[in-house]
Chains A and B, each alone.
Chain A
């Protein structure tokens, strides 16, 4: 589903590569933790999957397409197969929960009838049924992140990318979010999650890819976060 072949990414004006000869293969339906300290290259990895950047060297394949060669006008179509969740939720503050989730479908041209069936269904899946009319600032952090996950998943993407989704949440709320991501993973969606949260990684016992200075230093099938100093 996602394949990196000796991928290097150097940002303009930087001497060191953000990613250095990274080769990784993520199968359809996998749940993968991307761990490593700040600046290790996790975000760059995710941004390459989204084709926010092109790699400096090597090849990136996402959902069967080679990102390097993908024309700019085809990028939106690629992104419709990927859902994305961030640490800071990124909800539209002037729209209700339902409108926030529906927005993702409206702007890619889905019909009104599709939207009116998909949105409540997805809100129920993430555990927000009955809260569709609330505004984001009336919700707790955990609930806001559920809205963001609903928005990312409402179009039923093949891949869900989560960049520190529990970074702003307390441990109990985080467990709930992880259960939700696990449930989404069980529907066959590939989940790639970048995180600093050792407790969560240890608990989930999923595949762990560890980056350090832009290199893969560990790729473990049922890993833990790593030894803390």
Chain B
């Protein structure tokens, strides 16, 4: 097929409708960035939730030698520990439980805050400072009051930690940002679709003479629609490139430079998550312009 016409039309069409194309590119850029952001935040929330274990967990910390809870009379005794485990085992709300030793707790802390703080002659803490704990998984995350009150008053129990009170606000705010980004993106996607539709209408009108003659002499529908499709593709690609850049900026300045340094206890998203978001944006962008173009060229360029 001779495509000289198609490419000269493509260049002409992009120049002729420059302001419309810019409008499409900018709306696409912003909406795709927000979609990408939504995807990144979604992955961030999942990653955080995965790391902290299922949110159903309740941790019962047992007394240590020097415990801040005055109810503790000293290190938890063998009999106290057995009693606590018995109560947990008998509770119908508990799905599973396991004991975390001082050493295991210490390993976890070293992992979170960096092992170098706990080495040398003056370590920040030793395994002995760590409380033993019983980790409890619930059958139903909504029903936790029973087990909490059953364990709370027992001898040898320092405190009952409900992970939800710590994690829920963090995951909650990530989710709020996610939905805000995606919600705004939906409006902008609609705006982008309408702009694409308008651009095609204008372009079809500007080219109506050529199109009329092409139909008359028997140019195929695809050939007539090709300049429109290529224009749609070019604007989409520019939008995708800009959005990819903006997301890279968010990853670098937002996550890697700031968050990763300051909030070490949260596992942050990295390059693989960025790749997923970029892939989604790269698919969505062309779809947003090419699909309406296909539909509308069928309407305006009917044989």
Residues of A at the B interface (CB closer than 8 Å) are 50, 72-73, 75-80, 82-84, 90, 92, 103-104, 106-112, 151-152, 155
Which residues from chain B contact A107 at a C-beta distance below 8 Å? 5, 213-214, 217, 219, 223-224
Extra 15 A-B pairs, beta carbons < 8 Å, given A73-B220, A109-B1: A72-B221, A72-B303, A73-B221, A75-B218, A76-B218, A76-B219, A77-B218, A83-B217, A84-B216, A90-B213, A92-B210, A104-B217, A107-B214, A112-B2, A151-B213
Pull 30 A–B residue pairs with CB atoms less than 8 Å apart, ordered by A.
Answer: A72-B303, A73-B221, A75-B218, A75-B303, A76-B219, A76-B220, A76-B303, A78-B218, A79-B215, A79-B216, A84-B216, A90-B212, A90-B213, A92-B210, A92-B213, A103-B210, A103-B213, A106-B4, A106-B5, A107-B5, A107-B213, A107-B219, A107-B223, A108-B220, A108-B223, A109-B2, A109-B223, A111-B2, A152-B217, A155-B217
Please classify how large the interface on chain B is, using the bins under 10, 10 to 19, 20 to 34, 35 or more.
10 to 19
> Residue on A with the closest CB to B1?
A109
- Interchain CA distance A92-B216 in the complex, whole Å: 14
Asked whether, in the complex, the Cβ of B2 is within 8 Å of the Cβ of A80, the reply is no
Query: Which A residues are CB-close (under 8 A) to B224?
Result: 107
* A-B contacts at CB below 8 angstroms, number: 60
Closest beta carbon of chain B to A142's beta carbon, Å: 20
Q: What residues of chain A lie closer than 8 Å to B214, measured between beta carbons?
A: 107
Interface bits B212-238 vs A (CB < 8 Å: 1, else 0):
111111111101100000000000000
B218/A108 in contact, CB under 8 A: yes
Q: Across the A-B interface, give the 10 residue pairs with the lowest CB-CB distance, nearest first.
A: A79-B218, A80-B218, A107-B219, A104-B217, A76-B218, A109-B1, A75-B303, A107-B214, A76-B220, A106-B5
**B209 close to chain A: CB less than 8 A:** yes
